[in-house]
Amino acid sequence: LFLFHMFALRSVRHVGLAGQRLMARNTAMVHTEAHMKEIGITLPAYQDAVWSYVKAQRDGDKLYIGDHVGQDESAVTVRGKVGEEGMEGAEVTPEEAEMLARNAGLRLLSTLSHYLDGDLDRVDQVIKVVGIVNGTPDFRGHGKVINGCSDVLVEVLGDRGKHARTCTGSGSLPAAVTCEMVVRVKARERRGRSEDNEEIGSCFVVMPVEGRGSVQREAPEQPLLLDGL
């Protein structure tokens, strides 16, 4: 009987610790959408692809997001070459282009949200951003333009938004757009009941057997549903 109580206490403690880990994990959830509301960021409406391609493609835990171009606040694509004042052929200032890159970043987040069922907490990490600027031949401020996209990813996602980056200029871009962004992201599967319950490893339980004293049996290794946590 003493051994039964000891092993039972050990099993209860095991379950209790697992429950505490689960509660801590749930408390640590990011809740990106609530964070965006706090900092005053609203994502633009998702824009679907218009030709024979898709906006994003999943490969395992990676999401590859295709080109997102610079648009203004009315979702109108801005066209023209980026350059400093006085540069031949310049149509868009670097400051305007940086804002367009930021808007492209917001649209990237909107596409991510669409493909992740409205749950940006599923973003584990933005891995890589590629930014291309349609600049004049002598323009050198490509990096500052693409900062608009990089900065908004970090504002929304925190450390999960920090990424490796390639930034380059182009003599022309499709439809003469000012800038375009491509992103690769690591994302988790959709949360379900199985992910909301901590799996409890095997433990020994002492079970009295009539006429044979106490027998130790190993509990099966299967999830224990911790409803209400």
What pLDDT sits at residue 191? 67
d(CA 206, CA 217): 7
Q: How big is the CA angle at 185 (ends 184 and 187), to the nearest 5 degrees?
A: 150
The tokens 């693409």 sit on which residue? Answer: 146
What pLDDT sits at residue 29? 55
Sign (positive or negative) of CA dihedral 192, 196, 197, 198: positive
d(CA 153, CA 159): 9
What pLDDT sits at residue 192? 57
What pLDDT sits at residue 189? 87
What pLDDT sits at residue 13? 53
28 phi and psi angles, rounded to 5 deg:
-85, 0
Mean pLDDT of 122-148: 97
Residue predicted with more confidence, 219 or 37: 37
What pLDDT sits at residue 148? 98
d(CA 29, CA 18): 17
Mean pLDDT of 146-151: 98
Closest to 98 measured CA to CA, from 52, 135, 128:
135
Residue 95, Cα to own-chain centre: how many angstroms?
27
d(CA 148, CA 103): 8
Give strand pairing partners of 64.
57, 184
Closest to 156 measured CA to CA, from 18, 48, 44:
44
**pLDDT per position as a tens digit, 7-55:** 445 554 544 545 554 444 444 456 999 999 999 999 999 999 988 999 9
For the chain, the 3-state helix, strand and coil shares in percent, each to the nearest 5, are 40, 25, 35
